[in-house]
Chain A
Amino acid sequence: DAGVTQSPTHLIKTRGQHVTLRCSPISGHKSVSWYQQVLGQGPQFIFQYYEKEERGRGNFPDRFSARQFPNYSSELNVNALLLGDSALYLCASSYGVLETQYFGPGTRLLVL
């Protein structure tokens, strides 16, 4: 069975640009969560979506947004990129909101 997949694997952007990251959950999973992991730190929770609705939000600015599609895949959008947005962006899927999350390999974003 395919695990959580994310695209792209790596991305380089410049300050002020916009980025869209994509995630496909494990088949049958209806919840997708997004995390930001800065080098040397634990993942920081950004959003959780379940059945296409936002069910949780972390302490991130409004430049960060996400959505979930009818097939349960998800996109994370970040506007007006800052140097500090450079990080590994992780997607995790689960059957439900408070169920075991399975992580993808992440998208490594570098903002120059």
Chain B
Amino acid sequence: GESVGLHLPTLSVQEGDNSIINCAYSNSASDYFIWYKQESGKGPQFIIDIRSNMDKRQGQRVTVLLNKTVKHLSLQIAATQPGDSAVYFCAENSLSGGFKTIFGAGTRLFVKA
């Protein structure tokens, strides 16, 4: 079946370094991709999104790259801070056959001070 998965379940980085979290997806019909951050005891928090007609989008300290050729999505966090420690999820949304969204399993990011 269709799925969104993550390559690395856990990522540990030094404060100030850049972080890269990767995600693979399998539904070529997906229209919209989102990265969420989830801290313990809270709901997912929107970080950045990208439409399928784009390959790069930048926000404040974050960049999302979309490679449709290999069905790969990545989140880059610049100058990672302790407050960035959380679980990060990628999600793909599609409207084909009705709205559907699929979340990946998540990557836990540890930022060492």
Binding site for B on A (CB under 8 A): 4, 33, 35, 41-45, 48, 55-58, 90, 92, 97-98, 100-106
Given contacts A45-B101, A56-B99, contact A102 B46 (CB under 8 A): yes
Between-chain CB contacts (< 8 Å), 13 pairs: A42-B103, A42-B104, A43-B44, A48-B99, A97-B99, A98-B31, A98-B99, A101-B34, A103-B43, A103-B44, A103-B45, A105-B43, A106-B42
Nearest-CB distance from B33 to chain A (Å)? 11
Question: How many interface residues does chain B have, given as a range?
Answer: 20 to 34
Indicate which residue in B42, B49, B105 contacts A42 across the interface (CB closer than 8 Å).
B105
Cβ contacts under 8 Å, A56 to chain B: 98-101
B102, CB-defined interface residue at 8 Å: yes
Cβ contacts under 8 Å, A55 to chain B: 98-99
Known: A42-B91, A55-B99, A102-B46. 13 other contacts (CB 8 A): A41-B105, A42-B104, A45-B101, A45-B103, A48-B101, A97-B95, A98-B95, A100-B46, A101-B46, A103-B43, A103-B44, A103-B45, A105-B43
Given contacts A45-B101, A106-B43, contact A98 B106 (CB under 8 A): no
3 closest A-B pairs (Cβ-Cβ)? Answer: A56-B99, A42-B103, A103-B43
Bound CA span A102–B99, Å? 16
Whether A43 and B46, one on each chain, are in contact in the complex, defined by CB atoms closer than 8 angstroms, is no
Given contacts A90-B44, A100-B34, contact A42 B106 (CB under 8 A): yes
CB closest residue in chain A, given B104:
A42
Whether B42 and A105, one on each chain, are in contact in the complex, defined by CB atoms closer than 8 angstroms, is yes
Cβ contacts under 8 Å, B41 to chain A: 105
Bound CA span A67–B102, Å? 21
Interface readout for B51-81 with A: 1 if CB under 8 Å, 0 if not?
Answer: 0000000000000000000000000000000
